[in-house]
Structure 1
Amino acid sequence: MANEYDLVVLGGGTAGYVSAIRASQLGMKVAIVEKEKLGGTCLHKGCIPTKSLLKSAEVFSYIKQAAKYGIQAQTPAYDFKDIRNRKDEVVAKMYGGVQHLMKANHIDVYSGTGRILGPSIFSPQAGTVSVENSSGESELLVNKHVLICTGSTPRELPFLPFDHKTVLSSDDMMTLETLPKSMAIVGGGVIGLEFASLLADLEVEVTVIEAGSSIIPAEEKKISRILQKELEKKGIKFLTGESLSAETIVQDEQGITFTLSEVVNAEQVLVAIGRRPNSDDIGLNNTKIKATNGFIEVNEFYQTEDKHIYAVGDVIGNLQLAHVATKEGVIAVEHMNDAAPITLDYDTVPKCIYTNPEVASIGMTEAAAKDAGFDTVTKAVPFAAIGKAVINGDTSGQAILIKDKKSDEVLGLSMIGPNVTEIINEVALAKFMNASTLELGLTVHAHPSVSEVLMELGLAGEGRAIHI
């Protein structure tokens, strides 16, 4: 006998469970199908556990610098088992919260692999979901709508496949029992650099190998250069413009060796070259849904070619960020219910890198704005001009504003420095409200606070900066 729902959500990650809650609020009868654990990659293998590890590494780093703040402390030490246990406790607490939310919102959760079926006696259109559990038994979920939130998994190199022992994925990093003395990281993007930062803070010898000419190529070039310089101060070595092949790599019992512009020896290697969509085994062949390189094609409301089936998050190939996926999911659910949602302007989405120092940005880089035809004005404010940053001892970074000379619109803003992953949200609000640079500069900010850098930037955009 089939179970009937208004909405079946494939994937119980952040986008999936948030969308399910919003659907329940709108009066829909909802089911989630998840083959692992509610919370998905973000909660169990990504956002949350990595930030817990980064926090422990940050604390260890700060204690080592205690003398800079007038504090005499003993030489610190750490036990990685304790750091890992704290990470597991954080995840477990939040996982319990998600399970409670499902019960509180009357959402049914099915454990197993969900696949979309074609037209059948249960429905004249594709969309019925078959759920296969670990025992091989199946049950059918008949529905009015389907929301695909199946996420993504780490990509591997064909000549350097994951063996989960020497060649690691970001998922494998969550289950390490001990840290190696040395690690090579292939990929100078967000994931690779966050792990490089925390490993270096925990005194692991780290080498980052990047095929491109610079790290974090999607960010402002000056921010990229500052970040590399700051990470090099931690002892991280960078090899950019390097092409890997099977001929450049040798594995043995001691670890792995890369023969590039210089020889790199490491006990383990983390491959962080991006993520691929989880769309291979969910029944797309039974639908009209189109996909390119595995990424599902959707419209601005996240409808597929089968208009009652929607898809959001990593599986559609936009910004692969948890907060983007949840916003997309809410828009999709509201569109199902004729709630006239506002479509998402991706230039209003904050992007954060939780290295030490942190990086945050929103909107366009200067190069992208010029390519789009804007006549730009660029202003920069160093954190050395901000009192709270001086107090914190974090003055090496800066904030960069790009505005349209004609309209005074904030086209983009990039920062590297203390607390920038928090204060970027103020810029997100300003972008959402179409605030001008002058309005940003005239907003009263508490003193001393790190966010005063935004006020100074706004004033600088009008030629009225006070402290630079």
Structure 2
Amino acid sequence: MAGIERQYELVVIGNGAAGDNIARTLGRQGRKVALVEKAHLGGECLNDGCVPSKALIEIAREARRHPISWTEALARVHAVQLLVRGNDPGGGFDRDGVDLYWGEARFLAPGRVAVGDDVLVAPDVVVATGTEPGLPPIPGLAEARPLTNRTIFRVAQLPRRLAVIGGGPIGLELGQALHRLGSEVTLFEALDRIAATEEPEVSLELQRIFEAEGIRVVTGAKLARAERLADGTVALETADGRFVVDDVLVAAGRKPVIPAGLAELGLARDSRGFIAIEPCGRTSVPGTWAAGDVTGKFQFTHYAAYQAHHIAKHIAEGVCEPIPDAIVPWAIFTDPEIGHAGMTEAQARERGLAVATGMLAARELDWFRTTGQVEGFAKVVVDAETGALLGAHFLCARASTLAGEACLAIQHGLTDRQVAGTIHPYPTAGELFRWACARAVSGRQRG
């Protein structure tokens, strides 16, 4: 049976940070906009990512002082999600001039998207469908039915012994939080260090902190096989021996979610399977744009919103201009946190730059002493001649906030001397960035 055609100026598929931003922006401008969502409003971040994981991390921090049951922890996590989601089941899209459609989107042709019995027709379509957990190619792993970030918040009982596969942000955050809530955690990372996107000093110190807490960290892990045994436990075969745990949490990569029918229209994808886009955000399919994690750029909510802001502008103005380059900071919400802005020392040297660095331990400053959060340090990377800031890296309390200040300084070309000469309130964590920059100045002067 032929579907009912409904004409729009824009169709957006997916309601994560990118899709939400574009749909509301154009809807508020008076454009006729349709938004398609198959499962839950808010995307990965609200439902299975940033919001529940950060809530769990805070609860786990509290659990270091007094016991908190898994049942209570989950109830509190879900309460936070409800608070963030709000009371309107329709997300308030009607007030923003956006028609919300529930269901799977399927491309029939460029500019023609089927949702149930409806066919949405528009000159512009935005694909903002995000990613889903990927499974590494370990024999038997899929059959062992491992947990992921999408299922861990729905298990009735916390595993007593838990293997975490993946030493990136998701594995590190959830691994530490679940350990603090009562799991015996073994963390497996295939590379030679955890947090491999960070400075080596950050990775090594974080591993030391994890191991001091009682988390077993196995780097260079070669997992040969996984098997769900008859008693419900899982056996992991490695070069170092056999590990038997109650469950496995996989946090080792993401794969893009591509709407049905789009590949048949000649969609170009990169070597990892993510949607390839022009610098302005357009795909190879006429009239079709892509934004957010599905493009495989920086898979952060804040970058998806930045990307979406410019794509919404391009659609509104009918242009295809490159999205401006920007320094993209990020944080890993372990305890202590990791904050990252700009280049690492190795990346700067790979570009042929002469660099200098400045490092300062958190325990040297009064804010960290007075709060008792003395673990960690700051490291800044600067141009050895001019002192221009190239990168700033933090492992400490409030590192996520410090990364924002460092990003501002790098983005606008400040030098180590300018930051060191800027008054910061006392006592605050922000002083760590200032005095690390002062160390860089001193080091350059000695050099």
- The normalised TM-score by structure 2 is 0.92
Distance between the aligned counterparts of 1:367 and 1:149, measured in 2? 33
State whether residues 250 and 258 of structure 1, in contact with CA within 8 Å, keep that contact through their aligned partners in structure 2. Answer: no
Alignment of 1:14 onto 2:4:
no
Distance between the aligned counterparts of 2:405 and 2:87, measured in 1? 27
Q: 1:343 — aligned with what?
A: 323
Q: 1:122 — aligned with what?
A: none
CA 1:47–1:160: 2 relative to 1, 3 Å: farther
State whether residues 103 and 115 of structure 2, in contact with CA within 8 Å, keep that contact through their aligned partners in structure 1. Answer: yes
- 1:363-442 equivalence runs, <5 A: 363-442=342-421
C-alpha deviation, 1:329, in angstroms: 1.2
C-alpha deviation, 1:398, in angstroms: 0.3
Among candidates 423, 432, 449, match of residue 428 of structure 2: 449
Distance between the aligned counterparts of 2:367 and 2:153, measured in 1? 34
CA 1:374–1:27: 2 relative to 1, 3 Å: farther
Among candidates 113, 117, 132, match of residue 129 of structure 1: 113
CA 1:357–1:22: 2 relative to 1, 3 Å: same
Distance between the aligned counterparts of 2:333 and 2:423, measured in 1? 27
State whether residues 330 and 340 of structure 2, in contact with CA within 8 Å, keep that contact through their aligned partners in structure 1. Answer: yes
Distance between the aligned counterparts of 1:306 and 1:209, measured in 2? 40
State whether residues 166 and 255 of structure 1, in contact with CA within 8 Å, keep that contact through their aligned partners in structure 2. Answer: no
State whether residues 9 and 124 of structure 2, in contact with CA within 8 Å, keep that contact through their aligned partners in structure 1. Answer: yes
Residue 77 of structure 2 aligns with an amino acid whose one-letter code is K
C-alpha deviation, 1:26, in angstroms: 3.6
- 1:79-90 equivalence runs, <5 A: 79-90=69-80
Q: Deviations over 1:189-230 (max 9, x none)?
A: 111111111012113110011111111111111000011111
CA 1:285–1:250: 2 relative to 1, 3 Å: closer
C-alpha deviation, 1:258, in angstroms: 2.2
Q: 1:123 — aligned with what?
A: none
CA 1:111–1:161: 2 relative to 1, 3 Å: farther
Residue 88 of structure 1 aligns with an amino acid whose one-letter code is H
- 1:261-410 equivalence runs, <5 A: 261-279=240-258, 281-292=259-270, 293-306=272-285, 308-338=287-317, 343-346=323-326, 348-410=327-389
Q: Deviations over 1:232-267 (max 9, x none)?
A: 111000111121123x65633141122331432211
Residue 52 of structure 2 aligns with an amino acid whose one-letter code is P
Q: 1:5 — aligned with what?
A: 8
CA 1:440–1:283: 2 relative to 1, 3 Å: farther
Task: Judge which range, 34-43 or 12-21, deviates more.
Answer: 12-21
3-state DSSP of counterpart to 2:154: coil
Distance between the aligned counterparts of 1:116 and 1:45, measured in 2? 26
State whether residues 182 and 205 of structure 1, in contact with CA within 8 Å, keep that contact through their aligned partners in structure 2. Answer: yes
3-state DSSP of counterpart to 2:428: coil
Alignment of 1:91 onto 2:81:
yes
- 1:44-55 equivalence runs, <5 A: 44-55=47-58
Alignment of 1:36 onto 2:39:
yes
Distance between the aligned counterparts of 1:274 and 1:454, measured in 2? 31
Q: Deviations over 1:43-98 (max 9, x none)?
A: 0111101111111001122x2xxxxxxxxxxxx22222111111111111222267
Residue 108 of structure 2 aligns with an amino acid whose one-letter code is L
CA 1:263–1:245: 2 relative to 1, 3 Å: closer
3-state DSSP of counterpart to 2:331: strand
Task: Judge which range, 360-369 or 220-229, deviates more.
Answer: 360-369
State whether residues 224 and 237 of structure 2, in contact with CA within 8 Å, keep that contact through their aligned partners in structure 1. Answer: no
Distance between the aligned counterparts of 2:338 and 2:213, measured in 1? 16
Residue 202 of structure 1 aligns with an amino acid whose one-letter code is L
Number of residues of Structure 1 aligned to a counterpart in Structure 2: 436
- 1:159-308 equivalence runs, <5 A: 159-162=139-142, 167-246=146-225, 249=227, 251-260=229-238, 261-279=240-258, 281-292=259-270, 293-306=272-285, 308=287
Distance between the aligned counterparts of 2:224 and 2:314, measured in 1? 47
C-alpha deviation, 1:454, in angstroms: 1.1
State whether residues 127 and 142 of structure 1, in contact with CA within 8 Å, keep that contact through their aligned partners in structure 2. Answer: yes
State whether residues 6 and 119 of structure 2, in contact with CA within 8 Å, keep that contact through their aligned partners in structure 1. Answer: yes
CA 1:344–1:52: 2 relative to 1, 3 Å: farther
What RMSD over aligned residues (CA atoms) do the two structures have, in Å? 2.1
Q: Could you list the runs of 5+ residues in structure 2 that have no partner in the other structure?
A: none
Residue 234 of structure 2 aligns with an amino acid whose one-letter code is I
Q: 1:135 — aligned with what?
A: none
Distance between the aligned counterparts of 1:253 and 1:150, measured in 2? 38
State whether residues 125 and 288 of structure 2, in contact with CA within 8 Å, keep that contact through their aligned partners in structure 1. Answer: yes
